[in-house]
Amino acid sequence: MERVDCDVCVIGAGSGGLSVAAGAAQMGARTVLIEGHRMGGDCLNYGCVPSKALIASARAAHGMAHPGDLGVAPVTPQVDYAAAMAHVSRAIAAIAPADSEERFEGLGVRVLREWARFEDERTVVAGEHRIAARRFVIATGSRPMVPPIDGLGEVDYLTNETIFDLRDRPEHLLIIGGGNIGIEMAQAHRRLGCKVTVIEGDRALAKDDPECSAIVLAQLEEEGVEIVQGQQARKVSRTDNGVAVETDDGYYAGSHLLVAVGRRVSLDRLDLDRANVAHDRAVIVGADLRSTTNRRVYAVGDAAGGMQFTHVANYHAGVVVQRILFGLPAKARRDHIPWCTYSDPELAHVGLTEAQARDRHGDGVEIVRFPYDENDRARATGKTAGLVKVSVVKGRPVGATIVGAEAGELISTWALAMTNGLKMKAISDTVVPYPTLSEINKRAAGAYFSPRLFESDMVKRVVRLVQTIIP
């Protein structure tokens, strides 16, 4: 067995692991990257990239059939489901070289395509290699959670890891789970010609502001997606035509079943107990992302617990690189992390929801809103559904939700403000191009100041006084 000595050993070649490995190697650290499955991890192969590629095909089809009141006649799109999935494959292939073994070896990373396990607190074994490192970074990501539903193991079902392998269009797609994956796939498949039923045991899009998520769900229902909320899937069974899901209150039959109820962190193979790495559903780490029991070990992304997003993994990678390469006291925060559901309209959020803000700050919270239908660019393009909603405490935003066109792009303004502790005045003072959707954020900030300026008797008295003084 070959012994490999290095400064940094990264386990997992998803977005977080790749970022750590690239940064460490390019700044002079001897770096080993271990990956037992596919380079690029879930984001490239099963998550962000393929889902957004399929959503793009679905949006093109919907736009042909529903051009809006723009003087263009609707036409019935000729949807080729297999061709749409081929587009998904091309998108993955186009991005794959950036995450490839060859690229990282070119950066100076030693890449081992094996499954890793800890042998002790200082050593990892991968195939015929024994790696001794000064620091280990666990970046193993997560995989689809399979719930203990009666009969599920006896039927064929899809997850986000297998749905993009389909080439024949599902006649009727049943989806267990009304989170962002379930909702995105529901709308995309409906627009590509499938009948779709979503079954959610709680509230669909439950982590998001209910006022804003209701706008998304109403749009899906208008497009023909059946959304069943508050009903747990109790039993799954085969039928002559596919599969059926039984709940306490209903029976839903379809041709295909997608399970999208969440994700489970992938730690099983690592033998963490041998390395004295404390863990439950994820590695137990402090704000510095360092294991609380083995100071040589760090975790990033899904493996560190918390929010399961690609951009969080990349953010964690930056924190860890600062600590292990430069010894800086960097720590990870959560309060400024945005997320987005890429439905149409999009639903994006950062910070506290209104309910969370009221629980934490009580009467000190002010809620300001600005609707899309008062934005000139939205009016010009016919994309007037939606609003910006901001929770403000003492002049600073503590949370923002946007539902509407390009919400995922617009939320960056509020993420920037919250990351840097900016006040609402910084947003309202910003000059943005006209006409753009970004004016919505500026107008929302202006809505915070409007009552203070236009409804204040004191302001009016000061203005009248100034008018008598200035010649």
355-403 pLDDT tens trace: 999 999 999 999 999 999 999 999 999 999 999 999 999 999 999 999 9
- pLDDT of the residue at 179: 97
Cβ-contact 347, 404 below 8 angstroms = no
User: Does residue 454 register a pLDDT over 70?
Assistant: no
Per-residue model confidence (pLDDT) at position 453: 58
pLDDT digits (tens, 9 = 90+) for 120-156: 999 999 999 999 999 999 999 999 999 999 999 999 9
Task: For residues 91-97, give the mean pLDDT.
Answer: 97
Nearest to 61 by CA among 199, 194, 150: 194
What's the per-residue H, E or C state across 52-78? HHHHHHHHHHHHHHCCCCCCCCCCCCC
**Whole-angstrom distance, CA of residue 166 vs CA of residue 68:** 31
Q: How would you label 428-445 residue by residue, b for 16+ Cβ within 10 Å and e otherwise?
A: beeeeeeebbbbbbbbbb
CA distance 198 to 181: 11
Report the C-alpha gap between 140 and 300 in whole angstroms.
Answer: 8
pLDDT at 456: 64
Question: Mean pLDDT of all residues in the chain?
Answer: 96
Contacts with 86 (C-beta within 8 Å, 6 or more apart), sequence order:
none
Nearest to 84 by CA among 42, 117, 109, 50: 50
Taking only the tens place, the pLDDT of each residue in 160-201 is: 999 999 999 999 999 999 999 999 999 999 999 999 999 999
Q: Given a cut of 80, is residue 410 above it in pLDDT?
A: yes
- Chain segment 116-130, per-residue pLDDT in tens: 999 999 999 999 999
Checking if the pLDDT of 52 tops 70, the result is yes
**Residue 461 pLDDT more than 90?**
no
Task: Give me the mean pLDDT over the 291-312 stretch.
Answer: 96
User: With left for phi above 0 and alpha for psi between -120 and 50, is residue 99 left, alpha or beta?
Assistant: alpha
Cα four-point dihedral sign 271, 274, 277, 278: positive
User: What is the reported pLDDT for 90?
Assistant: 98
Per-residue model confidence (pLDDT) at position 452: 66
| Contact residues for 8 (Cβ-Cβ < 8 A; gap 6+) | 20, 21, 24, 29, 30, 31, 32, 133, 134, 135, 136, 137, 324
Mean pLDDT (whole number) for 32-42: 97
Q: Percent of the chain beyond pLDDT 70?
A: 98
Note the pLDDT of residue 468.
80
270: nearest Cα among 121, 111, 105, 147: 121
Mean pLDDT across 11-16: 97
